[in-house]
C-alpha cells in the first residue's frame, strides 16, 4: 500500500457525503463538480492537527486540491486508467477493501466470543468414528447413522467406551497396529486434552457441549459420524515450559523391573526435594538423553501436544519451580518441574490471534452461511430445483475424470437461479461444471450435482453483493475512488517528476548550472587528523618534524607503522563545522593546532588551508539539487495543467465555510 499512499499526499480518506440540492458547488475543475460538503470533508480529514478552520488555510488547501484534481484529470486523459497494470492493481486493492463488507459482523462476533470462551477450557475426550463421505448417498449416510446410534446405545447401557472404540472405530489410532515394522499401541479412542481450534469445528462443538462422563449424540463432520465421551474438563493450561526426568520401563519388563524403575523415579524426586538442583539430577538420571544435557528442559507446549497423563500433572502445578511427584505413563515414570507459564490472557489480548484462526478454521463457513442468508433475503434470491435436477440425466461419470463437456447439457436453457437483477441459466451452470471439474473419486451424480450447485449459487450470491458495494456504501465508493486517484497520481507523477529528475541528467545539469550559487559550502578546513596509539614523545616528535617539512600522509604512515602494530591512522578531508568535534574546537588557521592526549592515545591536527565559501559541485549536492529540480518540474507541470484545463472556484461558497 506504500505505493498508493505516496500518491495521496493531498487526499485523505473521504467521509460519507450526502450531496443534496442545498449542497452548492464550490469548485468546477475540468468538467467535474466538487460540492461544498465534499470539499469540506476532504479538508477536515487532511487537517490532522484539528486546527480551527480559517479563510487562509481553506484558500491554501483549495489551491492544492485544484492541483490534485488536475493531475488526476491529466492521467485519465492519457489513458493511464485503462492499462492492464492499473486495472489489476486497483482490483487487488478493491478486493482487500471489500473484505470487511463481505462478512456477517454479528455472527463473527459471536464466533470470536465462543472461541475465546472455549480457549479458557481444556477438554479431554474419547471418540468413536464411523466414516461416511460428506457427499455420500442418503442410503450410505443413513446406514452410518444407524451404526453409530447402535454403538451409542451400547455405551449408554454401560459397555466400556474404550473397548467399543478399539473394536468398532474407523479411526485406526484406536487399536494396536504396526507401521513400518514399528508397533504402535492403540489409544482406545482417547484423544487426550485439546482446546479451541485443535479439532474440526463440529467435533469441537460436540465436545464442549457434552458434560463430563456423558456420551454425545452423533456428531457429523467431513470425516463421518462421531460419538464423543468427555472424560475431563479443566481450566486451560495455556502454554508452559517444563523440565522433566524420564525413567523408561524396558519392553517386556517384569513386575520387579517396573517397581525398580518406579523406585528410581522416587529417588530422583527425593534428591530434588532435599535441595539438589533439578537440572543436575536430570543430567545424571534421565533416560531422555536429548534433554538431559539441557537440564531436562522441553520446548514450550500447550494441552494438545503431550500425553494426557503429562498434561494432567503439569496442570496441577500452581507456582513456577513446583515439581510433580513421580507419575507413570505409557513411556515410563516422570518427574516434572514447571519453569515458566504463559496464561491465556483477556479477550482483547487474544482478539487478533482469534480473528486469524477464525479465517483459517472451518467455523468460517458458519459466518459465510449467515452472510449468504442475509444476501439471499435482501436480494430476493430464488432457485429452481427442477432446473437443477435436470442435470442428473446429463452429467455422467466422465466428470469425475475431468472429461465432461458442457455441450452435453445443450438442451437445457431454463433459468436456474436469480439474485437481485441477475439471472443465471442452466447453461451458466453447465459452463461452471465444465470449468470446475477435476479428477476425483466417483460419487452419486445427484449428490455431486447438488453440492456443485450449492457452491455455484453461493459464489454468485457473494459476487452480486460485491458488485453492489459502491451503491450500498457511499464510504466504500469514496474509498475506492481514493485508491483509483492515488494510483493514477503516483504513476503520472513518477513519469513527470520523480523518474524524470533522476534520468534527465542534461536537464539536471542545466538546472544546477543556472543556480549553482544556491548550493554553497560555508567556510571549511582542509586538514588532517593524526591519531597515534602511543604517547612516546620520540615517535610524536619525529612525526611533528616530518609533517612540518611537508611529508605526505602515506609517507608518514609508512614511516611510523614499521611493524605489525598500527601506531598511526590519518584522516584528511575538507571539514565543515559540525563534522568533527576536534575540528570544531580548534582555532581555524593554517598549521598545527593544540594536541589532545587521552591515556595512550594522542591526537594531532594539521590545518593545510582555510577554504573560503564556494559553490558545491553537482556530485556534492546531487540529492538536494535533484529535490529542487523535482519541485521545479512540478511547478512547471502545474502551470501547464492550469493553462490546459478550465477550473473555477466559487469564492462566495468557499467564504461561507466556517
Question: What tens digit of pLDDT does each residue of 339-376 get?
Answer: 999 999 999 999 999 998 988 888 888 889 999 999 99
Split into its structural domains, the chain has a count of 5
126 and 218 together in one domain: yes
Name residues whose C-beta falls within 8 Å of residue 428's C-beta, 6 or more positions apart in sequence.
416
Q: Is residue 155 part of a domain?
A: yes
Shared domain check, 212 and 132: yes
Q: Strand ranges (DSSP E) for 135-223?
A: 177-179, 182-184, 190-194, 219-221
Predicted local distance difference test score (pLDDT) of residue 251? 81
Cα-Cα end-to-end distance for the chain: 34
Q: Indicate whether 184 belongs to any domain.
A: yes
Same domain, 155 and 219: yes
Looking at the fold, whether 225 and 272 belong to one and the same domain comes out as no
User: In the chain, how many H helices and how many E strands?
Assistant: 26, 22
pLDDT of residue 49: 61
Question: 121-130: per-residue pLDDT in tens?
Answer: 999 999 999 9
Distance CA 65, CA 25 (A): 14
Tens digits of residue pLDDT in 463-479? 999 999 999 998 899 88
Of the candidate ranges 45-49, 234-238, 325-329, the one whose mean pLDDT is the lowest: 45-49
> Over 90: is that where the pLDDT of 43 sits?
no
Instruction: Let me know whether 509 and 595 are in one domain.
Output: no
Above pLDDT 90, what percent of the chain? Answer: 77
Residue 50 has pLDDT above 80, yes or no: no
To the question of pTM greater than 0.95 for the whole model, the response is no
Phi and psi based region of residue 561 (left: phi greater than 0; alpha: psi -120 to 50; beta: remaining):
beta
Confidence class of residue 56 from pLDDT cuts 50, 70 and 90?
confident
Pick from 12-26, 45-59, 214-228: least confident: 12-26
Cβ contact 635:39 at 8 Å: no
Instruction: Answer yes or no: is 88 within a domain.
Output: no
Looking at 80-196, which runs of residues are DSSP E strands? Answer: 121-131, 177-179, 182-184, 190-194
Q: Is 417 helix (H, G, I), strand (E, B) or coil?
A: strand
CATH number of the domain bearing residue 52: 1.10.4030
| CATH number reported for the structural domain that contains residue 249 in this entry | 3.10.50.40
In a domain, 228, yes or no: yes
Whether residues 73 and 199 share a domain: the answer is no
Write down the pLDDT at residue 39. Answer: 87
Residue the block writes with cell 444407524: 146
Q: How confident is the model at residue 17 (pLDDT cuts 50, 70, 90)?
A: very low
pLDDT at 7 over 50: no
3-state DSSP assignment of residue 244: strand
Are residues 491 and 623 both part of a single domain? yes
Using DSSP's 3-state secondary structure scheme, residue 26 falls into strand
Asked if the structure places residue 551 within a domain, the reply is yes
- Phi first, then psi, for residue 9 (nearest 5°) are -55, -40
- The per-residue pLDDT for 307 is 93
φ, ψ for residue 581, nearest 5 deg: -65, -45
What range defines the domain where residue 175 resides? 121-235
DSSP 108: H
Q: Given this model, what pLDDT does residue 232 score?
A: 96
Pair 200, 258 in one domain:
no
Q: Is residue 647 part of a domain?
A: yes
Q: Which DSSP string do the residues of 320-386 spell out, in sequence order?
A: TT-BPPPEEETTEEEEEEEEEEE----HHHHHHHHHHHHHHSTTHHHHHHHHHHHHHHHTT-EE-HH
Does 623 lie in the same domain as 505?
yes
- Each residue's pLDDT tens digit, 614-634: 999 999 999 999 999 999 999
With cell 500447550, the residue in question is 302
User: pLDDT digits over 563-581, tens only?
Assistant: 777 899 999 999 999 999 9
Whether 356 is in a domain gets the answer: no
**Domain stops at, among 203, 235, 267:** 235
- Helix, strand, coil percent content, the chain, rounded in steps of 5: 50, 20, 30
305 domain-assigned: yes
Compute the mean pLDDT over every residue in the chain, rounded to the nearest whole number. Answer: 91
Q: How far apart are CA 464 and CA 417, in angstroms?
A: 13
For the chain, give the percent of residues with pLDDT over 70: 96
Question: Which residue is listed with cell 480457549?
Answer: 119
CA atoms of 22 and 60, how far apart (whole Å): 25
Nearest Cα neighbor of 39 from 56, 22, 60, 25 is: 25
The Cα–Cα gap between 38 and 17 comes to 6
How many whole angstroms from its chain centre is CA 253?
Answer: 51
Residue 494 sits in the same domain as residue 638: yes
Considering the domain architecture, whether residues 230 and 125 belong to the same structural domain is answered as: yes
Same-domain check for residues 496 and 628: yes
Amino acid at each position: 500500500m506504500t505505493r498508493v499512499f505516496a500518491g495521496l499526499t493531498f487526499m485523505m480518506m473521504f467521509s460519507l457525503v450526502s450531496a443534496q440540492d442545498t449542497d452548492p458547488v464550490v469548485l468546477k475543475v475540468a468538467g467535474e463538480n466538487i460540492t461544498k460538503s465534499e470539499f469540506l470533508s476532504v479538508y477536515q480529514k487532511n487537517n490532522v492537527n484539528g486546527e480551527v478552520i480559517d479563510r487562509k488555510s481553506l484558500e491554501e488547501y483549495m489551491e492544492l486540491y485544484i492541483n490534485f484534481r488536475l493531475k488526476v484529470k491529466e492521467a485519465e486523459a492519457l489513458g493511464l486508467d485503462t492499462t492492464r497494470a492499473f486495472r489489476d492493481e486497483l482490483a487487488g486493492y478493491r478486493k482487500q477493501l471489500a473484505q470487511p463488507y463481505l462478512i456477517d459482523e454479528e455472527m463473527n462476533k459471536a464466533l470470536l466470543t465462543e472461541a475465546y470462551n472455549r480457549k479458557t477450557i481444556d477438554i479431554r475426550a474419547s471418540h468413536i468414528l464411523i466414516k461416511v463421505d460428506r457427499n455420500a448417498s442418503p442410503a450410505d449416510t443413513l446406514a452410518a447413522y444407524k451404526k453409530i446410534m447402535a454403538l451409542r446405545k451400547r455405551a449408554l447401557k454401560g459397555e466400556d467406551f474404550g473397548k467399543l472404540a478399539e473394536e468398532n472405530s474407523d479411526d485406526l489410532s484406536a487399536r494396536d497396529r504396526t507401521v513400518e515394522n514399528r508397533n504402535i499401541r492403540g489409544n482406545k479412542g482417547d484423544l487426550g486434552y485439546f482446546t479451541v481450534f485443535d479439532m474440526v469445528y463440529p467435533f469441537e462443538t460436540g465436545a464442549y457441549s457434552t458434560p463430563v462422563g456423558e456420551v454425545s449424540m452423533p456428531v457429523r463432520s467431513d470425516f463421518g459420524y462421531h460419538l464423543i465421551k468427555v472424560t475431563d474438563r479443566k481450566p486451560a493450561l495455556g502454554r508452559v515450559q517444563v523440565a522433566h526426568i524420564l525413567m523408561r520401563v524396558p519392553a517386556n519388563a517384569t513386575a520387579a523391573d517396573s517397581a525398580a524403575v518406579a523406585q528410581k523415579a522416587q529417588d530422583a524426586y527425593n534428591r530434588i526435594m532435599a535441595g539438589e538442583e533439578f537440572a543436575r539430577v536430570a543430567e545424571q538420571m534421565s533416560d531422555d538423553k536429548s534433554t538431559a544435557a539441557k537440564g531436562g528442559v522441553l520446548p514450550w507446549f500447550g494441552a494438545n501436544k503431550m500425553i494426557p497423563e503429562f498434561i494432567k500433572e503439569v496442570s496441577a502445578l500452581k507456582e513456577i519451580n513446583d515439581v510433580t511427584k513421580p507419575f507413570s505413563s505409557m513411556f515410563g515414570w516422570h518427574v516434572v518441574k514447571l519453569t515458566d507459564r504463559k496464561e491465556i490472557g483477556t479477550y482483547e489480548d487474544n482478539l487478533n490471534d482469534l480473528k486469524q484462526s477464525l479465517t483459517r478454521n472451518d467455523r468460517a463457513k458458519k459466518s459465510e452461511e449467515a452472510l449468504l442468508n442475509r444476501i439471499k433475503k435482501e436480494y430476493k434470491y430464488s432457485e429452481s430445483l427442477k432446473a437443477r435436477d435436470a442435470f442428473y440425466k446429463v452429467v455422467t461419470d466422465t466428470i469425475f475424470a475431468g472429461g465432461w463437456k458442457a455441450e452435453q447439457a445443450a438442451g437445457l436453457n431454463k433459468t436456474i437461479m436469480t439474485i437481485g437483477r441477475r439471472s443465471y441459466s442452466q447453461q451458466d451452470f453447465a459452463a461452471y461444471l465444465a470449468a470446475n471439474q477435476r479428477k476425483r473419486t466417483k460419487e452419486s451424480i445427484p449428490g455431486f450435482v447438488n453440492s456443485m450447485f450449492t457452491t455455484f449459487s453461493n459464489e454468485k450470491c457473494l459476487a452480486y453483493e460485491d458488485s453492489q458495494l459502491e451503491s450500498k456504501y457511499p464510504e466504500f465508493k469514496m474509498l475506492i475512488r481514493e485508491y483509483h486517484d492515488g494510483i493514477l497520481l503516483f504513476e503520472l507523477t513518477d513519469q513527470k517528476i520523480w523518474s524524470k529528475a533522476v534520468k534527465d541528467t542534461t536537464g539536471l545539469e542545466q538546472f544546477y548550472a543556472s543556480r549553482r550559487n544556491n548550493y554553497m559550502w560555508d567556510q571549511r578546513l582542509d586538514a588532517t587528523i593524526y591519531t597515534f596509539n602511543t604517547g612516546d614523545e620520540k615517535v610524536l616528535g619525529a612525526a611533528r618534524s616530518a609533517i612540518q617539512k611537508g611529508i605526505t600522509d602515506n609517507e608518514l604512515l609508512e614511516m611510523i607503522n614499521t611493524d605489525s602494530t598500527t601506531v598511526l591512522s590519518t584522516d584528511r578531508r575538507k571539514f565543515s563545522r559540525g563534522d568533527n568535534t576536534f575540528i570544531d574546537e580548534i582555532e581555524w588557521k593554517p598549521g598545527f593546532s593544540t594536541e589532545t592526549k587521552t591515556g595512550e592515545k594522542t591526537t594531532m591536527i594539521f590545518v593545510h588551508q582555510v577554504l573560503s565559501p564556494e559553490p558545491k559541485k553537482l556530485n556534492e549536492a546531487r540529492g538536494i539539487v535533484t529535490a529542487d529540480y523535482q519541485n521545479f518540474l512540478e511547478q512547471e507541470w502545474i502551470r501547464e495543467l492550469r493553462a490546459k484545463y478550465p477550473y473555477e472556484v466559487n469564492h462566495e461558497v468557499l467564504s461561507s465555510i466556517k
